[in-house]
Amino acid sequence: NYVMGNYSVKSNKFPSSAPQQDFPNLQMNLTDLAVQILDYELDIYVCEGTASEKMKWFHVINTAGEPLNEQELRNSAYTGTWLSNAKQRFSTKSGRGVVLADENPNNDKAEPLLNGNWNRQEYLQTAIKWASQNDNDDSTNTIEDYMLKHQGDADASELWQNFSAIIEWVRGKFISYQNSLKGMDWGTIYKEYQLGQLDNNIIKNSASVINEKIAELVNDDEVTTKMKGIYQYIIYGDSKYLQLRAFDDKTIKQKYEEQSHHCVYCVDEGNNREYALKELAGDHITPWSLGGKTVPENCQLLCKKHNSSKGNNY
């Protein structure tokens, strides 16, 4: 790529007035260095065998310089036109997959949704992982399986279509960006959504409804979680992600004496057993989902059995 003039490099062998040179400039200005590069003899070794055998061999020699990561090693084993096309989409700065993942087309702002570096093949790895999860063929449930299955394809259009559908869905659901959206397992979430597993949750609503609910949760004093927890609640519907406020020790001890060491539900059932403080848990009489607050007058103590059966139904 350097000899083709695709990029420039810095070197202390270049003049201080022009410390960075691409190869065409080198040929014009420093001919002797250009000739040395062109005349340099390369040792080339051909690795033969199955894809898994090649992977094992590359793991053995992957010691000098900056070690290759797992996807870079996979790329060495599953070469072909499909991989070349996939890398054009997900491993170059201007690749369609990179641009879509890093920039929101709704506002043309940098709002990245993926962790990792595209130039270390980590965007490509994510795209393949999501596609392998979404493949109806049970035999392609790993990245290696998927790459082997599609190695002979003419291009990576199927990989792109799956990836773009996921990212566009995320952009369409969350119109107000926060950094916590970055790095979530959107491939798995999208598949669960498509299968109807999230139908009873807020994520099923329009973007405007979702945005209003997020703002409401951000301003709710009962919610102590960070933004990621709010997003998880929107998606999965489980209040555990919100880390709702619990009653403090002072309130618990006060209620323990007021209830004469009893469980409220046990007394209702005719059981007047006295419990140790550690055997009782603070419970919201009116749950958070119905507007209940974490204040003393909304607190009752329940034994572990009744607290569990109530299920902390917020």
Query: Does residue 29 surpass a pLDDT of 70?
Result: yes
- Cβ(223)–Cβ(262) below 8 Å: no
Residue in the structure block whose two tokens are 């209702």:
268
Confidence label for 128 from pLDDT (cuts 50, 70 and 90): very high
Contact 277, 252 (CB under 8 A): yes
How big is the chain by its Cα radius of gyration, in Å? Answer: 29
Taking 60 as the threshold, does the pLDDT of residue 172 lie above it?
Answer: yes
Mean pLDDT of the chain: 90
Question: In the chain, where are the structural domains located?
Answer: 8-39, 77-193, 201-242, 249-310
- Residues 6 or more apart in contact with residue 176 via CB below 8 angstroms: 211, 214
Q: What is the pTM of this model?
A: 0.76
Look at the chain and count its residues. 314
In this predicted structure, the answer to whether residue 100 has a pLDDT above a threshold of 70 is: yes
Q: What percent of the chain has pLDDT over 90?
A: 69
22 versus 220: the higher-pLDDT residue is 220
- State what percent of residues in the chain have pLDDT above 70: 92
Q: What is the pLDDT of residue 38?
A: 86
Which tokens in the block code for residue 10?
């810095």
Mean pLDDT of 60-81: 79
Residue-wise pLDDT for 265-308, tens only, equals 999 999 999 999 999 999 999 999 999 999 999 999 999 999 98
Q: Give the separation between CA 93 and CA 122, rounded to whole angstroms.
A: 13
Q: What stretches of 203-301 show up as alpha helix (H) in DSSP?
A: 207-218, 227-236, 249-258, 264-268
Name the residue among 212, 221, 204, 228 with its Cα closest to residue 288.
221
Q: Residue holding tokens 């399986």?
A: 145
Report residue 65's pLDDT band, with 50, 70 and 90 as the boundaries. Answer: low
Do β-strands 8-10 and 109-110 pair in parallel, antiparallel, or remain unpaired? unpaired
Q: Residue 96 class from Cβ within 10 Å (0-12 exposed, 13-18 middle, 19+ buried)?
A: middle
> Is a pLDDT exceeding 70 seen at residue 86?
yes
Q: Which of 93, 88, 80, 97 is nearest to 147 (CA)?
A: 80
Q: What is the pLDDT of residue 59?
A: 63
Residues 129-156 pLDDT 10s = 999 988 766 655 799 999 999 999 999 9
Q: Is the pLDDT of residue 2 over 90?
A: no
